[in-house]
Structure 1
Amino acid sequence: MNFLDLLRAVFALAFTLGIIGLAAWAARRYAPQLLAKLSAERGERRMKVVETLVLDPARRLVLVKIDDEERLLILGEGRELIEPRGPNTDAGAGS
């Protein structure tokens, strides 16, 4: 390998690293605004995880809000249990 081939390989490596660095800079600079704009266009999500509580290594409680209703889920060991839904499940109903 002569000097010219070595110099060409070094310049190709520098050019490639420069493009990668430019892409990383552009992602840091413009990606947060782009992601915020895309999520704003998508609208408000109907389902949210309000809170989780780890009971033990195999089970956890998850409070999920769907539209304006909160549901309690017990997850673990390959099973899911959803709290039973009765006619008076609202927080302030009947009080």
Structure 2
Amino acid sequence: MDLDQYIRFLMALVFVVALIMVVAWVMRRVGMAGGTVRGRARQRRLSVVEALPVDAKRRLILVRRDDREHLILLSANGDLLVDSAPAGGFDTALAGTADTPAASTPAGSQPR
């Protein structure tokens, strides 16, 4: 190979790399890259709080949407909503139950 072929190869390589960069820039401008909706990246309403594998085929996912948390069981057979509660977790739920008066048991009966 002589010098002319090396220069032709180098110019083709530079052209292909530049073309890839231009396509990536156009896709980002159009909003096709990153999976976010344009203009709403600052105001995300949905987030995955935690994920826990139960076994090889099932996984528990805790998803927060606005002011609610949803516990979802994902499996190969289908998805199942296990629980849905206000955001804040266990501490908020415990504080909410502490404010309500406890049910009193009648005299002479044993609590179970």
Match for residue 73 of structure 1? 72
Shift of 1:68: 1.2
**Aligned positions of 1:26-41 closer than 5 A:** 41=39
Query: Partner amino acid for 1:61?
Result: L
Structure 1 unaligned segments of length 5 or more: list them: none
Determine the C-alpha separation between the residues in 2 that align with 1:40 and 1:76. 32
Q: Which has the higher contact order (CA 8 A, sep 6+)?
A: 1
The structure number with the bigger radius of gyration is: 2
Shift of 1:21: 4.8
1:70-95 deviation line (CA, Å, top 9, x unaligned): 1100110221110245xxx4433222
Q: CA RMSD in A?
A: 3.4
Determine the C-alpha separation between the residues in 2 that align with 1:22 and 1:51. 40
2:70/2:83 contact within 8 Å kept: no
Identify if the C-alpha distance between structure 1 residues 55 and 13 changes in structure 2 by more than 3 Å, giving closer, same or farther.
Answer: same
1:30-81 deviation line (CA, Å, top 9, x unaligned): 9xxx88xx87832321110010000111001000000011110011022111
Indicate the percent of aligned positions where both proteins have the same amino acid. Answer: 27
Local SS of the residue matching 1:52: strand
Residues 1:94 and 2:97 are matched in the alignment: yes
Structure 2 unaligned segments of length 5 or more: list them: 87-91, 99-112
Query: Partner amino acid for 1:15?
Result: M
Taking structure 2 as the reference length, the TM-score comes to: 0.52
User: Hey, which of these two has a bigger chunk of helix by percent?
Assistant: 1
Residues 1:11 and 2:23 are matched in the alignment: no
